[in-house]
């Protein structure tokens, strides 16, 4: 009787792995943004891009994230995006020199404990604060900003749904 052990050769390439928390109020477009980046398909204006992000039936029904949803995109050595449009999860990891874990978090105030858990438990390197251009910053947006500041996580602001706003300022 012969026993053999098969192992994969150790990966010698240097891989950069960053975690990005996606924060913002409900209906700001956080899950849609994650869906577009990971699936490589634009949204249809009705939230189709976010359907691959949702995990629970009540999220599909309400259109709101209530949990911590993790997903992954990669970039090759030239900076080209590698996502699920043409690759499996394993291929995204294998072909990438840089990985970005997207941590999609709830934006409804009643799920603030879940959002706090996601930001503190997954220890993101950065936070993206998504603001709906039609709504502007809300009370929840300000709470999420305060959370990033309190945890000393560098953040940046993404303005979503800008195509729905006129470029003119009345006054």
- The CATH code of the domain at 26-127 is 3.40.50.300
pLDDT in tens, 65-82: 767 889 999 999 999 999
> What is the predicted pLDDT for the residue at 56?
58
Confidence of residue 4 (pLDDT cuts 50, 70, 90): confident
| Ordered DSSP codes for 2-48 | ------PPPP-S--EEEEEEEEE-TTSSHHHHHHHHHH-----SSSG
CA–CA dist 133, 114 (Å, integer): 25
Sketch the domain layout of the chain as residue ranges: 26-127
Of the chain, the percentage scoring pLDDT greater than 70 comes to 81
CB 49 within 8 A of CB 42: yes
pLDDT in tens, 96-121: 999 999 999 988 888 899 999 999 99
pLDDT in tens, 26-37: 888 888 888 889
> What is the predicted pLDDT for the residue at 13?
66
Half-sphere exposure of 110 (CA within 13 A, CB side): 3
């Amino acid at each position: 009787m012969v026993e053999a052990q098969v192992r994969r050769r150790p990966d010698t390439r240097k891989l950069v792995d960053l975690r990005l928390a996606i924060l913002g109020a409900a209906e700001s477009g956080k899950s849609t943004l994650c869906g577009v980046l990971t699936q490589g398909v634009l949204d249809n204006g009705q939230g189709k891009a976010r359907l691959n992000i949702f995990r629970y039936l009540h999220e599909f029904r309400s259109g709101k994230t209530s949990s911590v949803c993790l997903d992954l995109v990669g970039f090759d050595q030239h900076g080209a995006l590698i996502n699920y449009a043409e690759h499996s999860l394993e291929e995204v990891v294998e072909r990438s020199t840089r990985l970005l874990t997207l941590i999609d978090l709830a934006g409804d105030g009643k799920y603030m404990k879940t959002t706090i858990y996601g930001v503190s438990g997954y220890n993101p390197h950065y936070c993206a604060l998504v603001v709906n251009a039609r709504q502007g910053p809300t009370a929840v947006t300000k709470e999420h900003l305060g959370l990033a500041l309190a945890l000393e996580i560098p953040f940046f602001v993404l303005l979503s749904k800008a195509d729905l706003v006129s470029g003119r300022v009345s006054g």
